[in-house]
Amino acid sequence: MAYQAVIVAFASYLIWFWLLTRYLANRLMVFSLLTPLFGVAFGVLLLDESLSLTFALAALLLVAGIVLVNAPERKDL
């Protein structure tokens, strides 16, 4: 519990606030949606859990949405 509270929480907040000093908050907030994907990915890699096709498709759609939101704005001529 101490590892989770001190190391993981402290490190994640430290990185998060460092990123906020470098990037706009509205663009950066989209990446918080990736947290569940990292959790499942680490579960598959470290705990040998299975990965379903449905989750893989949902993850692909989520990443596509993040790319669309962060794409540069098009200016029509």
pLDDT score of 53 more than 90: yes
For position 77, what pLDDT does the model report?
Answer: 62
Q: Could you read off the pLDDT of 32-44 as tens digits, one per residue?
A: 888 888 888 888 8
Residue 67 and residue 33 in contact, taking contact as beta carbons nearer than 8 Å? no
Region 41-57 average pLDDT = 90
| Domain residue ranges in the chain | 2-70
What pTM value is reported for the model?
A: 0.60
